[in-house]
Amino acid sequence: MSLNPQISDWHGRRVWLVGASTGIGLACAQALRAAGAQVVVSARNPQGVLDWAAQDAGVQWRVLDVCDAPQVQATARALLAEGPLDMVVYAAGYYQAQRAHAMDLAQMLQHDKVNYQGALQVIDAVLPDMLARGRGHITLVSSVAGWRGLPNGLAYGPTKAALTHLAETLYVDLQDRGIGVSVVNPGFVATPLTAQNQFTMPALISPEEAAREMLKGWAQGQFDIHFPKRFTLWLKLLRVLPYRIYFPLVRWFTGL
């Protein structure tokens, strides 16, 4: 059953992707543009986006630091002055592996600022216009790392858990207001963030494959877009295990 309106025709749709200069965000922006959408890409650093934007009038670049609340509001106002946003994708992310015996509070707070508070800033900036129009779609890129507590996830995992919870609550509140909400929960994707991992990542996929899965999820009207299924379905099983089984299993599987 579709929980959201199904989106398969992107022609004429305007999408703002926040945190999309590399990785999943950039690959998704490129896939959406190829499907006919008008895309606006924002992040702190342009990296591979400026050359692309210079060659295609359907691509815009707007510099944005999601931790700068006034800049988020000003950027959203400028974009909305040019026309409505049919979808906003929050893909900004920050990740540093951390364990409790080496807790770094500053790093933990930075995770919260980018991964969670940044999403709140963007939603606050775009939601009033969507409510006034009675249409639009908000997508939050979370992670399977937020499904249950995992080693090395002390700083990252809780922010992604919060993001998933936020998406669930937004959906409950907005489903009868004409606004779609979806949460994207990727497994391991080959991005600059995951490149720092010092272990073999199971079921590792490319950003391009992740983008294809996202477009497939939107086309099917999914709320929870998770991939690759050969990995995420096992993790969903872990979510329902009692702690007396889950904790020893995680320790055995990770060796940590």
Of the residues 90, 156, 171, 243, only one is catalytic, namely 156
Q: What is the dihedral of CA 71, 42, 115, 88, to 10 degrees?
A: 100
| Inter-residue contact 213 to 227 (CB < 8 Å) | yes
Tell me how far CA of residue 82 lies from CA of 42, 60, 121, 149, in angstroms.
16, 12, 20, 42
- Provide CB contacts within 8 A for 115, sequence distance 6+: 92, 93, 94, 156, 159, 160, 162, 163
* Side-by-side strand order, sheet with 179-186: 59-63, 38-43, 14-18, 87-90, 136-141, 179-186, 224-227
Q: Is residue 171 annotated as a catalytic residue, yes or no?
A: no
* Nearest one of 96, 47, 49, 92 to 67, comparing CA atoms: 92
Phi-psi sector, 52: left (phi>0), alpha (psi -120 to 50), beta: alpha
Please classify residue 51 by burial: count the beta carbons closer than 10 Å to its beta carbon, then call 0-12 exposed, 13-18 middle and 19+ buried.
exposed
Residue type, 170: L
DSSP string, 42-103: EES--TTHHHHHHH-TTEEEEE--TT-HHHHHHHHHHHHHH---SEEEE-------B-GGG-
Active-site annotation, residues:
156
